[in-house]
């Protein structure tokens, strides 16, 4: 290939102006908190779950569950990397780039904390055993969908999911009967609270300025992502194929029954539905409407 052709394929955008002036003091405040509240997943002692009297079948279920948590947290990394690139070449102020860098580091430590728990329970699984997870997890982040929204619009949509996962994580924290799992859940929740806060800040700053078309698009993208990947076994088992729904649901129930920091499949949809109602109320202030999601709003929800 001609060198000139290569250059065409990988253009390096102009980074200038590299903005240093503080434009959003409320975002900078979150950056300061992130520095003060940093933590090390390797400082959590997992001896309690290593030595606990837990049946082999339950250990395997817990290891699968925490492996799933680890894959999910890892899924936030490529998403964050793309946003960092957008922030750099979109000449965003320093505090916006710093927040995205913090977000990536924090999701990576959530990933790290999760695979340590999986390891201590019975073994981390680097590749999902179930075929559906092999296909679902990579689709969690669709760059095409992100690029269809504005930079702050797509960040806002994703922070709405932080709220949903925060609610689920709270239930998992309350389910955890072992100190090491409780500790990991608590520290992850503390980071997620900042990610949610970031979403609130950018909604306040930018949502008034959005046109009707983008508002409608944001609502649709939120619903699409929730249905397309997160209800497919990631947040809840509701949209899985029947045999996988039973298998994954049974494992989750086992992990929850033994207090391994899991949500019982029967509780998940209720938590997500309540959280969706709150999210709808939050964004309706800005004229954003989240379309109906049959699995949560419709008949299926009644019988779930």
Tokens of 71: 């894959």
The reply to whether 245 sits near Fe ion by the rule CB under 5 A is no
Q: Shortest Cβ distance from residue 109 to Fe ion (Å)?
A: 9
Q: Which is nearer to Fe ion, 52 or 108 (CB)?
A: 108
Q: Shortest Cβ distance from residue 249 to Fe ion (Å)?
A: 23
Q: Which is nearer to Fe ion, 54 or 181 (CB)?
A: 181
Q: Which residue has the tokens 């779930």?
A: 304
Window 13-52: contact mask with Fe ion (x via CB under 5 A): ----------------------------------------
Distances (CA, A) of 165 to 91, 161, 230, 231, 272: 30, 6, 10, 12, 9
| Neighbouring residues of 188: CB distance < 8 A, sequence distance ≥ 6 | 110, 113, 169
How many Cβ atoms sit within 10 Å of the Cβ of residue 203? 22
Residue of the chain from 59, 69, 110, 141 that contacts Fe ion (CB under 5 A): 110
The reply to whether 83 sits near Fe ion by the rule CB under 5 A is no
Q: Is 24 helix (H, G, I), strand (E, B) or coil?
A: coil
Total residues interacting with Fe ion, rule: CB under 5 A: 6
Question: How far is Cα 140 from Cα 151, in angstroms, rounded to an integer?
Answer: 18
Binding to Fe ion, residues 134-193 (CB under 5 A): 162, 192
The answer to whether residues 75 and 114 touch, using CB atoms and an 8 Å cutoff, is no
The reply to whether 74 sits near Fe ion by the rule CB under 5 A is no
Binding residues for Fe ion, per CB under 5 A? 73, 107, 110, 162, 192, 195
């Amino acid at each position: 290939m001609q060198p000139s052709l290569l250059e065409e394929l990988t253009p390096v955008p102009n980074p200038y102006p590299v903005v240093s002036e503080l434009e959003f003091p409320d975002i900078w405040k979150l950056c300061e908190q992130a520095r003060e509240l940093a933590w090390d997943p390797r400082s959590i002692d997992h001896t309690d779950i290593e030595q606990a009297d837990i049946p082999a079948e339950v250990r395997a279920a817990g290891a699968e569950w925490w492996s799933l948590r680890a894959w999910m947290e890892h899924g936030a990394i490529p998403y964050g990397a793309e946003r960092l690139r957008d922030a750099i070449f979109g000449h965003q102020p320093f505090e916006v780039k710093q927040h995205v860098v913090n977000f990536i580091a924090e999701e990576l430590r959530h990933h790290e904390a999760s695979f340590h728990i999986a390891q201590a329970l019975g073994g981390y699984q680097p590749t999902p055993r179930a075929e559906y997870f092999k296909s679902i997890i990579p689709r969690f982040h669709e760059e095409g969908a992100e690029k269809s929204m504005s930079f702050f619009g797509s960040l806002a949509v994703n922070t709405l999911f932080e709220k949903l996962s925060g609610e689920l994580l709270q239930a998992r924290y309350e389910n955890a009967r072992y100190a090491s799992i409780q500790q990991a859940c608590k520290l992850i929740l503390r980071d997620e609270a900042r990610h949610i806060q970031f979403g609130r800040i950018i909604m306040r700053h930018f949502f008034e300025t959005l046109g009707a078309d983008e508002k409608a698009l944001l609502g649709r993208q939120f619903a699409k992502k929730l249905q397309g990947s997160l209800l497919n076994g990631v947040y809840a088992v509701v949209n899985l194929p029947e045999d996988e729904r039973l298998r994954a649901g049974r494992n989750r129930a086992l992990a929850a029954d033994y207090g391994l920091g899991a949500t019982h499949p029967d509780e998940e949809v209720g938590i997500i539905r309540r959280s969706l109602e709150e999210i709808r109320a939050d964004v309706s202030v800005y004229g954003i409407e989240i379309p109906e999601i049959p699995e949560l709003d419709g008949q299926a929800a009644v019988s779930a």
